[in-house]
Structure 1
Amino acid sequence: MPALPPARRAALRRRLLAWYDAGHRDLPWRVPQRGADPYRVWLAEVMLQQTQVQAVIPYYERFLRRYPTLGALAAAREEDVLALWAGLGYYARGRNLLAAARAAQARHGGLPASLDALRALPGFGPYTAGAVASIAFGIAAPVVDGNVARVLARLFLVEGEPAAGTVRSRLWALAGELVDPARPGDLNQALMELGATVCVKPAPRCGRCPVAARCAARAAGRERAIPPARGRPARRPLELACALVERAGAVLVVPRPAAGLFGGLLGPPSVELAGEDDPATALARTAREAHGLALAVGEEVARVERTLTHRALTLRGYRCTLRAGPPAAARWVARGEEGVALPTAFSALLATLFSTSRRVRCKNPHSRPGRLADKLARQRSSLTRGSSSV
């Protein structure tokens, strides 16, 4: 397709930048491109992938307090990084963040001011590299995330699902033509902001849009139909049996495999259940084969359900007894312990177990309150028998 006419391109840039300069959301990572810290730009863009802004803000601020520079992050332990990431989801982002920080520090002494060098770092796709290059270094690189894709699809009446190959290529080409060579980072942020606050789905707020008069989808009366709504696949049920081994108010956890659900984090030994599996048998077998744990599996004492992006997750916790000492990779997590790389679903399961354990202890007739109550009862019984005999 032909390139954008220069006059139209210039008008769109001018209107978008004027609108952005007039006011935008006050976000902790939102800074003019010439004053941006590359590390902070990158951290924000990684955290914002498939995560809502309001959910990201406390994680972003907490992360920077712990690791204020790329060098500090590069020297961190993976377990500590994932502990800070716990609850944010998509944990591969946290592992890639650490790997890229180490690679950037070793190869360049920091994040490189080169689009190609950025793309060579772990976890840097076209969007992340373009965002860091344009905002932090003023490089005329385009960005296309979900918000920007929606803006461009409506603005230029691009038909089809934005994730489809030919449509995606067309949107990236348009973004490349539109990016402003003098203020690439600000223009990209203007497109992001417009998509997040005005050109929203399913119904854009065209009355507030600075480029509504030049929007091809609006002119055709199709602003609600472009881009088409994406059908989401049904969430697959996923059921895990989890071994809950308790000792002195703490629960045994082990590292999870790097690939797969909650990869690289900690959790109680667990096994995915198929419909025909006996949970106790499957759990004991997996604990032995995967972790070298000899367990006696007891009754189910806790259950937690969580909705993930593509899965309906059920965690079933079984009280277990450890028949031999745990392996070196295992550790004990106490109730309320912080700084542990536990996914929130497992944290909820452990909280349920601790709550159940407290109730059981309170009802235990061999506990101190129970023994005192028994003693008082015997005294009352003795007095009653004495009065009757007189």
Structure 2
Amino acid sequence: MEKWSPQKIKLFQEKLLDWYDQEGRDLPWRKDHDPYHVWVSEIMLQQTQVKTVIPYYQRFMTLFPTVSALAAAPEDQLLKAWEGLGYYSRVRNMQKAAQQIMADYGGQWPNTAAELQKLSGIGPYTAGAIASIAFDEKVPAIDGNAFRVFSRLFEVDVDITKPQAQPVFYSLIEEVMPAERPGDFNQAIMDLGSSYMTAKNPDSEHSPVKEFNQAYLDGKELAYPVRTKKPRPVPVNYVALVIKTPQGYLLEQRSSKGMLANLWTFPLVKWQDLSDDEDLKTVALPQLATDYLVSTSNLRLKFRLLPAKIVTHTFTHQKWSLTLLFAETTTKQDLSFFPGRLIKASDFASVTWPKVQQKLWDEYQKSLSVD
């Protein structure tokens, strides 16, 4: 790995920042250097594309314009504002951090990366982004873009999925970044990684820093960054129970712990909870679901398969496949043993549900025209 001279570092800084001044993305959270704005945008941008985040960010700022407003927000309203972004633990941690700022810091933001990491849900990257952009601290913000850009610039052979990669890249970037405008430097790296130096199909020939990109110059750009392949998500089969009554649909709020915590869905049951048969066939599901609901909730309903596609949804470690079953009743059911409630379709906007539930509802709606 080549060590750059002070002259080369200075030239790199100038080229990068000149390009950023001319071509940096015009994003709503870049209108100022407010730490609250930086923080909200960075949390939203985790595993979510910029074009998706922009309307969420703007709506979030209307609802919760200050850190104190976020700290005091009702959880239901907060989760509804986040609906569709996924990974709801992120917004729950944001509220915890906002409450910490109000209670422990008198409503004032900590202004160093080290102190920021004491807040709930703020790790090294987010702390580096806030500290550098809002408080001009010379500290790297190392995300996937930074790993990719610097691994190619310097041909770093360290596996970025390993813990030892973080200190290697931190030292490398800290040496290259300027004492002045560290926040703009970090944002320029973000923009560079999402434009000319993308993971696939990079356009380094037209990059403003192509002469510094050693991997490009050596013709092996796509070999970087070095990373161990992630294991494939574990497949999990579910049935989704669409239960319609004159009073609405029966929805279930998931546990406060685990995946999709506190969110509302159709009742979801794993195939393995219906039968021990490893070769379970889809045609057996309606009767098994009928028996299961009687035994667990004392609900007597007759299910049938819907003419709907299998709904799939991939999480970090699991890939769900969900088969839609339908039951309709005109009689009043005793819900004493059922952990959910009846909700009219017109009132669905009042509850927060995850993306997988939206997929189920959309597929159910399509099936009505086929059924």
Q: Which amino acid aligns with 2:5?
A: P
1:203 and 1:270 mapped to 2: Cα distance?
A: 40
**Partners of 2:341 and 2:66 in 1: CA distance:** 30
The DSSP-based 3-state class of the residue aligned with 1:312 is: strand
Does residue 341 of the first structure (1) align with residue 352 of the second (2)?
A: yes
Q: What residue number does 2:280 align with?
A: none
Q: Which residue of 2 aligns with 1:18?
A: 18
2-side partners of 1:354 and 1:163: how far apart? 41
* 1:237 equivalenced with 2:235 (yes/no): yes
Equivalent residues in 2 for 1:266-281 (5 A)? 266-274=264-272, 276=276
Which position in structure 2 is the counterpart of 1:85?
A: 82
Contact 2:254–2:264 (8 Å) recurs in 1: yes
Q: How far 1:283 moved relative to its partner?
A: 7.9
Where do 5+ consecutive residues of structure 2 fail to align? 278-283
Of 46, 57, 62 in structure 2, the residue corresponding to residue 60 of structure 1 is 57
In the other structure, the counterpart of 1:121 is 119
1:152 is displaced (CA, Å) by: 0.3
Distance 1:339 1:204, change over 3 A: same
Question: Take 1:339 and 1:59, find their aligned partners in 2: how far apart are those partners?
Answer: 18
How far does residue 70 in structure 1 lie from its aligned partner after superposition?
1.5
Structure 1: any 5+ residue segments left out of the alignment?
361-390
Q: Between Structure 1 and Structure 2, how many residues are aligned?
A: 354
Q: Matches of 2:3 and 2:110 in 1, distance apart?
A: 31
Cα deviation, 1:243-301, whole Å, max 9, x if unaligned, reads: 33333352222321233332231223322222736756578658976xxx432242134
Taking structure 1 as reference, are residues 111 and 340 closer, same or farther at Cα in structure 2, changes over 3 Å only?
A: farther
Q: Is the 8 A contact 1:284 1:295 kept in 2?
A: no
Q: How far 1:154 moved relative to its partner?
A: 0.7
**Structure 1 7/330 Cα, relative in aligned 2: closer, same or farther at 3 Å?**
same
Give the partner amino acid of 2:17.
L
1:94-173 → structure 2 map (5 Å cutoff):
94-108=91-105, 109-173=107-171
Amino acid in the other structure paired with 2:232 = A
| Match of residue 332, structure 1, among 342, 349, 364 | 342
Aligned match of 1:307: 313
| 1:30-55: CA deviation from partner (whole Å, max 9, x where unpaired) | 24xxx312111111101111111112
Q: 1:221 to 1:348 in 2, by over 3 A?
A: closer
Letter of the structure 1 residue corresponding to residue 361 of structure 2: L
Aligned to 1:211: 209
What secondary structure is seen at the aligned counterpart in 2 of 1:258?
coil
Deviations 1:282-325 (A, max 9, x none): 78658976xxx432242134455123144432223444567423
**1:192-218 deviation digits (Å, cap 9, x = unpaired):** 100001111234212222221122223
Identify if the C-alpha distance between structure 1 residues 207 and 3 changes in structure 2 by more than 3 Å, giving closer, same or farther: closer
Assess if the C-alpha contact under 8 Å between 2:86 and 2:355 holds in 1: no
- Taking structure 2 as the reference length, the TM-score comes to 0.84
Cα offset, 1:4, TM superposition: 4.9
Distance in 2 separating the partners of 1:55 and 1:283: 40
Q: Does the Cα contact within 8 Å between 2:79 and 2:88 map onto a contact in 1? A: yes
Provide the C-alpha distance between the structure 2 equivalents of 1:329 and 1:71, rounded to a whole number of angstroms.
Answer: 34
What's the Cα RMSD here? Answer: 2.9
Deviates more, 1:130-139 or 1:8-17: 8-17
Pair 1:359–1:306, CA change in 2 (3 A): closer
Shift of 1:330: 3.3
Gap change, CA 1:307 and 1:330, over 3 Å in 2? closer
Report the residue type matching 1:307 in the other structure: H
Percent of aligned positions with the same letter in both sequences? 33
1:263 to 258, 261, 264: 261
Contact 2:113 2:124 in 1 (8 A): no
Q: Which has the larger radius of gyration?
A: 1
Task: For residues 127-148 of structure 1, give each alpha carbon's deviation from its aligned partner in whole angstroms, at most 9, with x where no partner exists.
Answer: 0111111111212121111111
Moved more, 233-242 or 170-179: 233-242
